[in-house]
Amino acid sequence: MSARTKARKRALDILFSADVRQISLVEALDAEATRAASEPARTASWLYAREIVDGVIDHHEKIDETIATYARGWTLERMPAVDRALIRIAVWEILFNPDVPAAVAVDEAVEAAKILSTEESAGFVNGLLATIASTAS
């Protein structure tokens, strides 16, 4: 597993835990930062995970607005928490991280959905993100 894939998983954990525990992303990020300080071997994944979460925090309104615009028949609240977090990460990468090709962001989110979410999630995540990626180009 690449360092960026590990970082995305770590960012997913932060976004998911904040969502489920109903705490702010800043609070969840601070808790992970404390933990990361005691795990120097995982520094590579921590740096990009923090960049992702900071990006989602900074662009939260635009990210959620974009998702709501293209998620036909689905509200953010109706999506499984895992899917919501995966989609937010991928949308941040597609819209705000020029270092990550949109196809990579979509593929990473779909692969994670296959492992971590419902049977239908991978198809939903793929369709939604592919649409967003095509309009962002």
- pLDDT tens-digit readout, 42-82: 777 889 999 999 999 999 999 999 999 999 889 999 999 99
**CATH number of the domain encompassing residue 41:** 1.10.940.10
Q: Is the pLDDT of residue 34 over 90?
A: no
For residue 111, count other CB atoms closer than 10 A to its CB.
Answer: 15
Task: Please state the domain count of the chain.
Answer: 1
Helix H, strand E, coil C: the string for 5-33 is: HHHHHHHHHHHHHHHHHCCCHHHHHHHHH
Its pTM stands at 0.94
Q: Is the pLDDT of residue 17 over 90?
A: yes
Q: Which residues contact 4 (CB under 8 A, 6 or more apart)?
A: 48, 100, 108
For residue 36, what pLDDT band results from cuts at 50, 70 and 90? confident
For 65, the domain range is 3-136
